Structure 1
Amino acid sequence: MADGFAPLLAALARPGRPSSDFDLNPGTVLPEGRVLRPAGVLLVFEETPAGLRLYLTKRASHLRHHPGQIAFPGGKVEPGDAGPVAAALREAEEEIGLPRGTVEILGTLDPHETVTGFLVTPVLARLRAPFTPRPDPSEVEAVFTIPFSHLVSGRFRVESRHWRGGMRRYYVAPFGPHYIWGATARMLRALTDRMGR
């Protein structure tokens, strides 16, 4: 495998810990006996002469949940899926036209709990063949890449906003016109934490 992926593989070999949308809000009281729905998202990395780039999507503005937000391709585990990895691959094929055979699964991070009741498994993958995104307009407005070095260099910061009667703190990692925040930023922060950054 190309040397550019060595830091990612080393990070996956290190122990991690679960993350959640509540990490920065320790006073949050979560319901007893809550049932989380399993989901998977795909973190697709492409090696370029300038370094690794990570694929992200901008969700369609007409969606009911998280319209216009920056996200990874992925979604909930459906009955026909073998698990979060299969769900992430299926959703990436549906959302951005990524053929399953063009990626190599590198591993997974610890699950992330979202405020919307999902337990999301981040699945890391290497792009093995040229790929031209074909976003599904019913779900995705745009597909783009960012240099992974932007995240590794520690571009995360904490912001806050009013949410459900209180202040909610969350990670952000803006890149150009793209405001990466919330669960997406938190999962990326979990990855860079495992890289020791």
Structure 2
Amino acid sequence: MNFDELTSFLEKRVQKPMPGDVAHQRMKPKLASGAPLKMKHATPPRKGGVLILLYQDQETVHFPLIQRPSYEGIHSGQMALPGGRYEEEDQDQFNTALRETEEEIGVDQNSIQIVGSLSEFFVAASNYMVLPVIGKLDHKPKFVPEPREVADIVTPPVSHLIDPDRLKEKEMNVRNGFKMHCPYYDLAGRTVWGATAMMLSELVEILKEYPVR
């Protein structure tokens, strides 16, 4: 994938109707029984933003994923896009994604150019309405993980997202003893599933329209 051509394509494509929930559903986990997982919350969802940060390294386009540390929380140890909760100082979820990316992986937010965004996504497990933002860098970044929030950083090529051999399924034991049947992406040797996989699934769908040369 050519970096400039890909980011130019994405900048134009995200202005058109998006696949949204149709794409999300393809990577949605289900209970081992096959039943869909349903969650209800008494309060409205909080806002958040995550960043798909594209950059070129030796003629290949990559993006970073983080591994959350182990903790007493619902996303313990999971793979994720850098991002987090909206704060009033952010003004919008685009700025949330940029600020959180700088805080979590040390990339100067002022060096990132916004390409656009995917569809907002409701993370039922934590009751967040998240905007997946696409950004780009004109250089390979030096990542500096924030140890309280990031256990590791991996940087798979974007091309691996559309490699059918990277799309897999397995049964997983998750919080509270639930066994779930989970579609996932095998990226950089990690299992990328759940909300992150569902958001990336929309990117995958629009990448299928990209004219590979």
Shorter-chain TM-score range: 0.7 to 0.9
Richer in helix (by share): 2
CA gap of 1:39–1:187, structure 2 versus 1, over 3 A, is same
Are 1:55 and 2:64 an aligned pair? Answer: yes
Instruction: String of CA shifts for 1:9-33, please: whole Å, max 9, x gaps.
Output: 3442331124479945474444387
Q: CA deviation at 1:62?
A: 4.1
Are 1:76 and 2:85 an aligned pair? Answer: yes
The two structures have a TM-score, normalised by structure 2, of: 0.79
Are 1:194 and 2:193 an aligned pair? Answer: no
Q: Percent identity?
A: 27
Q: Partner of 2:15 in structure 1?
A: 13
1:10-159 maps to which residues of 2 (within 5 A)?
A: 10-16=12-18, 17-18=20-21, 19=24, 23=28, 25=30, 27-31=36-40, 34-62=43-71, 64-114=73-123, 115-154=125-164, 155-159=166-170
Richer in strand (by share): 1
Distance in 2, matches of 1:160 and 1:189, equals 19
Residues 121 and 129 of structure 2 are in contact (CA less than 8 Å); yes or no, is this contact kept in structure 1?
Answer: yes
CA gap of 1:105–1:69, structure 2 versus 1, over 3 A, is same
Residues 48 and 93 of structure 2 are in contact (CA less than 8 Å); yes or no, is this contact kept in structure 1?
Answer: yes
The two structures have a TM-score, normalised by structure 1, of: 0.85
Unaligned runs of 5+ in 1: none
Q: CA deviation at 1:93?
A: 1.0
Residues 26 and 201 of structure 2 are in contact (CA less than 8 Å); yes or no, is this contact kept in structure 1?
Answer: no
CA gap of 1:71–1:10, structure 2 versus 1, over 3 A, is same
Instruction: String of CA shifts for 1:157-195, please: whole Å, max 9, x gaps.
Output: 343445567654433101243221111111111111123
Which segment is superposed worse, 127-136 or 82-91?
A: 127-136
CA gap of 1:194–1:130, structure 2 versus 1, over 3 A, is closer
Instruction: String of CA shifts for 1:52-83, please: whole Å, max 9, x gaps.
Output: 11111122234634222211110010122212
The RMSD of aligned alpha carbons is: 2.7
